[in-house]
Amino acid sequence: MGRITTLRDLIGVIKDKASASKAAFVSTPETISLRLAVLRVTAHMPSTPPNDNHISALLALGDSSRTTASALISSLMDRLHRTSNSTVALKCLLTLHHIIKRGPFILQDQLSIFPAAGGYNYLKLSSFRDGATAFTWVLSAWVRWYARYIESLLSTSRVLGYFLGSTSCSMERDKQEERISSFLSQDLVRDIDSLVGMIEEICKGPDPSFVEGNKLLYEVINLLSNDYLSAVNEILSRLSEFNLRLSGLSFAESVELVCALKRLEDCKEKLSLLFPVKKPSTENLWVLVSELREKTDKLKVYKEEKKLLTWGKCDKGSESARFVMKRDDSVQFSSGRLGGNKLALFVVESGEATTL
């Protein structure tokens, strides 16, 4: 435990003892151990992450039965939503993150479907504010962002079909790695889009310089670093598959892939500040992203007998409404879903214009 240095710290310790006494008084024998486990990992003492032994004990409790796992998640969420203390809120979120990373599958499953009526796990911390001090006010920004990130991590895990970076899902992840070549291109695009979205959320975090000297925030960044490397490996496997099937992509799939690669490249500078230590996997990712961007820009979309591309308005009878490009020229395009004008693309074969 950290030292008691302020009246607020002392009040926090008293609250923890009062909560423990209340849990012992009102809880059933089946739930008292769960409530006490949650209180231990989310104590008020500042700037100290949850004790690893307490985390391990909580994870072990959640592995006993589905009913116990559900009660534990409900208790943890209740603690998160009732507190107005930024330290307690951060520790609740850290505990949720540890459940995703190293928890038993039964506990992860209950987290993924909370609340039971909705199943989308909206943490609802967008309005969280702890105005006790200037420090806690800044820490509140970390709470709001970290909650959004946990939601993004859970959403991406649902898309992938397993918890990203989880030790309990290693077998399922390995199976999927073997099946990547059998995935439809649109499924690969969907996975990459979700993974990039999660990385974008990492980059939206508060000023990382605030982490210096704060053990609680350092633990957050450490978990984020592991998630980032897991996401990099997932993206690498899918981009490597795309590298083999570029010539067979549809126009829409090419658009989606290029957009995802551009979004990922836009994150590169912020990621280098957050995670300055270079890893072989991240270096390989940026090399592959650059290569794919170049190949996609120069992609020969059409077969040998399709000699001309025409791009313009939907008026095949008007020569003035069209312009002609050589097949090897780069094709710049605009996507209607991204805004801007909708353009019609034609392939000229045997003197006739065909809309794609």
pLDDT tens across 48-87, in order? 899 999 999 999 999 989 999 999 999 999 999 999 999 9
Average pLDDT over residues 339-352: 40
Residue 79's pLDDT is what? 93
pLDDT over 80 at 16, yes or no: no
Residues 353, 346 contacting (CB under 8 angstroms)? yes
Residue 271's pLDDT band, with cuts at 50, 70 and 90, is very high
Cα(53)–Cα(335) distance, rounded to whole angstroms? 52
Find tokens 């990621």 and name the residue: 271
User: What are the strands of the beta sheet with 344-349, ordered from one edge?
Assistant: 324-325, 308-312, 344-349, 352-355
Run of H or E residues at 260? helix 251-266
Residue 306's pLDDT band, with cuts at 50, 70 and 90, is very low
Report the mean per-residue pLDDT for the chain. Answer: 79
pLDDT single digits (tens) 147-187: 999 999 999 999 999 999 898 888 888 888 888 999 999 99
Residues 68, 61 contacting (CB under 8 angstroms)? yes
Cα(203)–Cα(192) distance, rounded to whole angstroms? 17
Residue 320's pLDDT is what? 40
- What torsion, rounded to 10 degrees, do the Cα atoms 184, 190, 195, 199 define? 140
Bigger pLDDT: 96 or 248?
96
DSSP 3-state of 323:
coil
Exposure b/e, 172-196, CB count within 10 A at least 16 = b: ebeebeeeeeeeebeebbbbbbbbb
Percentage of residues in the chain with pLDDT exceeding 90?
A: 53
Cα(308)–Cα(222) distance, rounded to whole angstroms? 53
Exposure b/e, 290-305, CB count within 10 A at least 16 = b: eebbeebeebebeeee
Cα(92)–Cα(98) distance, rounded to whole angstroms? 10
